[in-house]
């Protein structure tokens, strides 16, 4: 299973003789509610600060993920929390959330590398610029990524998980299918209409 954190949560629930399905669904619901709260913290203006949480709360896809019992809702909470910590320059929180995200989903490593790129390229400028996070915030998640890669290499002879390896393969059929999935999601979830709301 791609999520080390979710395997540990399920194992702990089973050890305590509590239904792992119930525990993961409750954690997913709490994580989805936490995501709405964190999103409300991005904007200091009350009116505009409510737009993103409202769109998330109205999203059928987010509601389905919340009670699915998968780690997707936790990954969503950790991603928005990490980005908020990045924007506000909170080093310790950024390091913690990125480390947990790396343990939660393979995409957490890609998100960590993306924030490292932002840190290197998008230097804070101007009066209202974000506080710089500093490279020390990335030490723990990058070290964890290295430990996981080495551990995987020693046990499976592959550096990347089966879920992360295809991200680095140029398979045009897979990219075409992925594009169709994204287009289907945009049409089925009403995401395209939300883009109009952003423009307006």
Return the H-helix or E-strand segment holding 33: helix 20-40
Answer whether residue 127 shows pLDDT above 60: no
Answer whether residue 138 shows pLDDT above 90: yes
Structure tokens belonging to residue 174: 């897979």
Tell me the percentage of the chain whose pLDDT exceeds 90. Answer: 44
> Residue 10: which pLDDT band, with cuts at 50, 70 and 90?
very high
Q: What is the pTM of this model?
A: 0.80
Q: What is the DSSP string of 89-158?
A: T-HHHHHHHHHHHHHH-THHHHHHHHHHHHHHH----STTPPPP--GGGGHHHHHHHHHHHHHHHHHHS-
CA distance 81 to 42: 10
CA 80 to chain centre: 7
CA distance 55 to 36: 9
């Amino acid at each position: 299973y791609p999520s080390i954190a979710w395997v540990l949560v399920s194992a702990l629930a089973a050890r305590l003789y509590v239904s792992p399905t119930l525990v993961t669904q409750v954690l997913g619901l709490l994580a989805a509610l936490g995501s709405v709260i964190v999103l409300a913290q991005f904007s200091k203006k009350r009116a505009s600060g409510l737009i993103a949480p409202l769109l998330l709360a109205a999203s059928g896809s987010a509601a389905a993920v919340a009670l699915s019992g998968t780690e997707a809702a936790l990954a969503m909470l950790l991603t928005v929390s990490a980005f908020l910590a990045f924007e506000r320059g909170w080093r310790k929180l950024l390091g913690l959330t990125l480390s947990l995200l790396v343990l939660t989903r393979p995409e957490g490593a890609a998100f960590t590398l993306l924030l490292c790129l932002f840190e290197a390229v998008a230097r804070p400028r101007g009066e209202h610029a974000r506080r710089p996070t500093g490279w020390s915030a990335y030490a723990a998640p990058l070290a964890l990524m290295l430990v996981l890669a080495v551990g995987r290499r020693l046990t499976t002879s592959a550096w990347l998980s089966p879920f992360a390896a295809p991200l680095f393969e140029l398979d045009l059929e897979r990219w075409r299918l992925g594009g169709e999935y994204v287009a289907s999601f945009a049409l089925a979830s009403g995401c395209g209409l939300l883009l109009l709301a952003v423009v307006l």
